[in-house]
């Protein structure tokens, strides 16, 4: 089965991101395909490379980056939601006149069309968080 995943909540304010990560990991281990992971609303906060959790806590951003790299996941961050929350890639930072970017490895910024496309291409669209 081919899944598209939507993550609507941030990494440390709600269980949704951890649950989405565990679901995605389990689906891949079971031989399913992940069409795309789309981070929307506060879910875009999973994509900042500036997250520094205490050493004895889970690092949700790193978990996503490592999973994405290991499985070649297409992890897309909604551009509008990202801009509102200060999540920028190098191109967007330049375009907005900012002096730095902060998107983590394995994530990319794009628009809602990527969510629509993932929903069309996948057998199931699974949403985590409100």
Return the active site residues.
Answer: 78
- Report yes or no: 41 and 77 within 8 Å, Cβ to Cβ: no
Q: How far is CA 47 from the centre of its chain?
A: 6
Give the separation between CA 67 and CA 70, rounded to whole angstroms: 5
Q: CA separation (Å) from 85 to 11, 46, 63, 79?
A: 14, 11, 21, 10
User: Which residue spans within 18-115 are E strands per DSSP?
Assistant: 33-39, 75-78, 107-110
């Amino acid at each position: 089965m081919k899944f598209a995943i939507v993550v609507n909540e941030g990494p440390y304010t709600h269980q949704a991101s951890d649950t989405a990560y565990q679901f995605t990991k389990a689906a891949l281990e079971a031989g399913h395909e992940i069409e795309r992971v789309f981070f929307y609303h506060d879910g875009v906060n999973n994509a900042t490379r500036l997250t520094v959790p205490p050493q004895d806590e889970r690092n949700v951003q790193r978990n996503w980056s490592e999973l994405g790299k290991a499985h070649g996941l297409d992890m897309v961050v909604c551009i509008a939601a990202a801009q509102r929350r200060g999540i920028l890639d190098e191109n967007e930072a330049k375009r907005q006149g900012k002096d730095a970017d902060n998107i983590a490895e394995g994530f990319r910024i794009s628009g809602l069309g990527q969510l629509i496309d993932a929903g069309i291409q996948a057998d199931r669209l699974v949403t985590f968080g409100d």
